[in-house]
Amino acid sequence: MKQPENALLSLLECPRDHSNLRVEGKHLTCAWGHKFPVVNAVPVFLLPDQEQTIGSATESLKAAESEIGSPLYVNTLGISENHKRGVERDWILGSKVDPVVSYLIGATCGLGYVHLTGNLTTYPIPDIPIGSGDGELLLDVGSGWGRWSVSAARKGWRVIGIDPSLGAILAAKRAFHGMGLDLSFVCGDARFLPFKSEVFQCAFSYSVLQHFSESDAEVAIAELGRVLRHGGFAKIQMAHKGGLRSYVPRNNANSGFARVKYWSLSSMHDVFIKQIGPTKLLAEAFGGLGLLPEDRKYVSAKARLLISISRLLKKLSLFVHPLIRLADSVYVISVKQ
């Protein structure tokens, strides 16, 4: 069983008691005897005695502990049975992109990529809205199949992605292996980060904490504050309840993903300033969630129009600050002092 690389191991600690970890057979073990399985060099830090935030986390735990599952770990992906069969078929037949990513793409960018499910030919990598990393550490929370992690690594960050889906994490490792990017991944829970305190310069997250309950989100935000260095910052996308098209969509039984939780601007500001430090809010999208300019060539004509309108309003909101009250999602930027 491959173990994590030493550079990653040096940053890890037990998410239960924050003690150091050592390699022990197919597990990482702390001084108090807590054990965490390792699958293809990916440590799995999900806690079975905690209520999970997403259904795929439960499946990831079962698969990691029992070593049951195909090399793709399709049972941990939270996708439909038809899509699972499609992943396994494409793996056998061969495909231009990783077959897991080709089916996970439908849950990326809101509903903008649904038509690409099973038909992906390139990886849509957005431009992460942060500056150059110069070798500093960045934590990608809810990294999924790795699109934001790759974007950050291309800007010179040393990136660690964390996600509760073991299948998605392993897909990211397969898809971007050999590209010369400084990328590592762990399977875990944002509420119980398996990292030492004050090691990251940046924490980034997109379309993740908006699916948590308010209490779980605050726990996760506090954990981000713990692992950030003094002077480091978090940039987190959150859904805003006052947006132009804000609404609560129905649960998706196939994905196991909880419905979006919309926050008021004041609630976001108060929680982040309490758990991390000085905080400001910037408009991220108008007219919907996940409207990224880089996605124009992949989405429908209607989505392209919304992206153009959103981009215009975002620029305008930098000068007409009250416009943020109409944004459907915002970036919350907090600096740890």
CATH of the domain at 274: 3.40.50.150
For residue 265, give both structure tokens: 């601007």
DSSP string, 13-28: --TTT---EEEETTEE
Judge whether residue 259 has pLDDT over 90. no
Count of the separate structural domains present in the chain: 1
| Closest by Cα among 126, 68, 123 to 95 | 123
Question: According to the model, what pLDDT value does residue 250 have?
Answer: 42
Under DSSP, is residue 159 helix (H, G, I), strand (E, B) or coil? strand
Question: According to the model, what pLDDT value does residue 247 have?
Answer: 57
100: left (phi over 0), alpha (psi -120 to 50) or beta: alpha
Handedness of CA 97, 144, 106, 328 (dihedral sign): negative
In a domain, 115, yes or no: no
**Mean pLDDT, rounded, of the chain:** 90
In a domain, 286, yes or no: yes
Judge whether residue 141 has pLDDT over 70. yes
In a domain, 109, yes or no: no
| Closest by Cα among 198, 196, 170 to 184 | 170
CA distance 223 to 180: 30
For residue 297, give both structure tokens: 């060539």
Judge whether residue 67 has pLDDT over 80. no
Question: Burial letters for 100-134: b for 16+ Cβ neighbours within 10 Å, e otherwise?
Answer: bbbbbbbbbbbbbbeebbbebeebbebebbbeebe
Judge whether residue 258 has pLDDT over 70. no
Asked whether the beta carbons of 311 and 292 are under 8 A apart, the reply is no
Residue 243 sits in which domain range? 137-335
CA distance 90 to 103: 10
Q: Taking residues 232-238, what's their average pLDDT?
A: 98
User: How far separated are the first and last CA of the chain, in Å rounded?
Assistant: 41
Of 106 and 158, the structure prediction assigns the larger pLDDT to 158
In a domain, 31, yes or no: no
DSSP string, 34-51: -EEEEETTEEB---TTS-
In a domain, 29, yes or no: no
Confidence of residue 260 (pLDDT cuts 50, 70, 90): confident
CB atoms within 10 A of CB 239: 23
In a domain, 15, yes or no: no
For residue 257, give both structure tokens: 């993903």
Tell me the pLDDT tens digit for each residue of 266-293.
999 999 999 999 999 999 999 988 888 8
> pTM for the full model?
0.93
In a domain, 79, yes or no: no
Q: Taking residues 298-313, what's their average pLDDT?
A: 89
Among the ranges given (3-17, 254-268, 305-319), the one the predictor scored with the smallest mean pLDDT: 254-268
In a domain, 197, yes or no: yes
| Closest by Cα among 174, 181, 120, 172 to 142 | 172
Q: Taking residues 320-333, what's their average pLDDT?
A: 96
What pairing do the DSSP bridges indicate for beta strands 27-30 and 21-24?
antiparallel
